Structure 1
Amino acid sequence: MVSVVCTLDHHANEVSGCAFSASLLASCSGDKTLRVYSAVDFSERPYSPLCGHEYGVHCCCFTSCGSYLLSCSTDGAIAVWSTDTGARVSALEHPSRSPLRACAVAPDSSLVLGGACDGTAALWDFSSGTLRRFLAVSEASVAACCFSPCAQMFVTGSTHGTLRLWGVDGSILCVQKDAHDLGVTCCSFAPQFTVGTYGCCVELQLASCGQDSRLKIWIVSQYEGTGTLTPLLHTLTGQSAPVLSCAFSSDGALVVSGSVDKTVAIYDTVSYLCMFWFRYVTAVAMSPTKPWLATGSMDRTVKVWRIGDGEDTTDRKLPSRSTLTLLSDWSEEDVQTWLREEGLEELVGIFKSNNIDGSELSRLNRESTFVIPESVGLRGRLLRKVESLKAAQSGSDGPDEFLGPITRELMRDPVIAADGYSYEREAIESWIRGKTKTSPMTNLPLQTTLLIPNRSLKMAIARWKSSQ
Structure 2
Amino acid sequence: MVSLICTLRHHTDEVSCCAFSPHLLATCSGDKTLRVYDTADFSELPFSPLTGHGYGVHCCCFSSCGSFLFTCSTDGSVMVWSPETGELTASLQHPGRSPLRVCALAPDSSLLLAGASDGTVALWDFTSKTLRRCSAVSEASVAACCFSPCSQMFVSGCTHGDLKLWDVDVRLLHAEKDAHDLGVTCCSFAPQFIVDGCCVEFRLASCGQDSLLKIWIVSQHEGAAIVMKLLHTLTSQSAPVLSCAFSSDGDMVVSGSLDKTAAVYDAKLGTLLHTLKQHDRYVTAVALSPAFPWIATGSMDRSVNVWRIGDGDCSAGNSSLPVVCVFTGRKLPGHSRLLLADWSEEDVQTWLCEEGLEELISVFKANNIDGAELIQLKKETATELGIESVGLRGRLLRKIEALKAAQSDSETPDEFLCPITRELMKDPVIAADGYSYERESIESWIRGKNKTSPMTNLPLQTTMLTPNRFLKMAITRLKSSQ
Query: Into which bin does the TM-score normalised by the smaller protein fall?
Result: 0.7 to 0.9
Identity of aligned residues (%): 69
Could you say which residue in structure 2 is the equivalent of 1:55? 55
Which of 400, 412, 421 is matched with 2:426 structurally?
412
Residue 33 of structure 1 is matched in structure 2 by 33
CA distances 1:245-298 after superposition (whole Å, capped 9, x unpaired): 100000111110111111111111221111111122220111111111111111
CA RMSD in angstroms, aligned pairs only? 3.0
What amino acid is aligned across from residue 252 of structure 2 in structure 1? L
Number of aligned residue pairs: give it. 418
The more displaced of 396-405 and 282-291 is 396-405
Corresponding residue SS for 1:51: coil
CA 1:262/1:167 → structure 2, altered by over 3 Å: closer, same or farther?
same
Read off the aligned partner of 2:82 and give its amino acid letter.
Answer: S
What is the one-letter code of the residue matched to 2:308?
R
> Does the 8 A contact of 1:28 with 1:59 survive in 2?
yes
Q: Distance in 2 between matches of 1:51 and 1:321?
A: 20
2:454 to 434, 440, 448: 440
Q: Residue 41 of structure 2: SS of its match in structure 1?
A: coil
Q: Is residue 189–residue 207 contact of structure 1 (8 Å, CA) maintained in 2? A: yes
Which residues in structure 2 correspond to 1:321-340 (within 5 Å)?
A: 338=336
Q: 1:247 aligns with which of 233, 245, 252?
A: 245
- Alpha-carbon distance in structure 2 between the residues aligned to 1:290 and 1:433: 47
* Residues 8 and 327 in structure 2, CA contact (< 8 A), matched pair in contact too: no
The one-letter code of the counterpart of 1:432 is: I
Task: Assess, with a 3 A threshold, how the Cα gap between structure 1 residues 156 and 226 changes in structure 2: closer, same or farther.
Answer: farther
Hey, what's the Cα distance between the residues in 2 that align with 1:269 and 1:137?
28
**Match in the other structure for 1:466:** 480
| 1:162 and 2:176 are equivalent in the alignment | no
8 Å contact kept, 1:4–1:314: no
1:200 aligns with 2:198: yes
TM-score by length of 2: 0.80
Q: Is the 8 A contact 1:6 1:304 kept in 2?
A: yes
State how far apart, in whole Å, the 1-side matches of 2:346 and 2:44 are: 34
**Paired amino acid for 1:266:** V
| Counterpart-to-counterpart distance in 2, 1:462 and 1:223 | 64
Contact 2:70–2:80, Cα closer than 8 Å, also in 1: yes
Structure (1 or 2) with the larger CA radius of gyration: 2
Q: What's the offset of the Cα at 1:455?
A: 2.4
Which residues in structure 2 correspond to 1:78-117 (within 5 Å)? Answer: 78-117=78-117
The verdict on how the C-alpha distance between 1:232 and 1:380 changes in structure 2, with shifts beyond 3 A counting, is farther
Whole-angstrom CA distance in 2 between matches of 1:215 and 1:64: 24
**Equivalent runs, 1:14-413 vs 2, <5 Å:** 14-196=14-196, 199-224=197-222, 228-279=226-277, 280=279, 281-311=283-313, 316=322, 338=336, 397-413=411-427
1: CA distance between counterparts of 2:31 and 2:166?
A: 33
The letter for the 2-side match of 1:458 is K
Q: For 1:194 and 1:293, how far apart are their aligned partners in 2?
A: 25
Q: Which runs of 5+ in 1 are unaligned?
A: 323-335, 348-374, 382-391
Check whether the contact 1:403–1:410 (CA below 8 A) recurs between aligned residues. yes
- Distance, in Å, in 1 between the alignment partners of 2:194 and 2:469 is 61
Q: Which amino acid aligns with 2:104?
A: A
For residue 358 of structure 1, what is the aligned residue in structure 2? none
**Residues 430 and 339 of structure 1, relative CA distance in 2, 3 Å threshold:** closer
CA distance in structure 2 between the partners assigned to 1:261 and 1:104 by the alignment? 27
Q: Tell me by how many angstroms 1:426 deviates.
A: 2.1
Once residues 59 and 149 of structure 2 are traced to their aligned partners in structure 1, the CA distance between those partners, rounded to angstroms, is 19
Using structure 1 for the length normalisation, give the TM-score: 0.83
**How far is 1:82 from its partner?**
1.0
**Alpha-carbon distance, 1:449 to partner:** 2.4
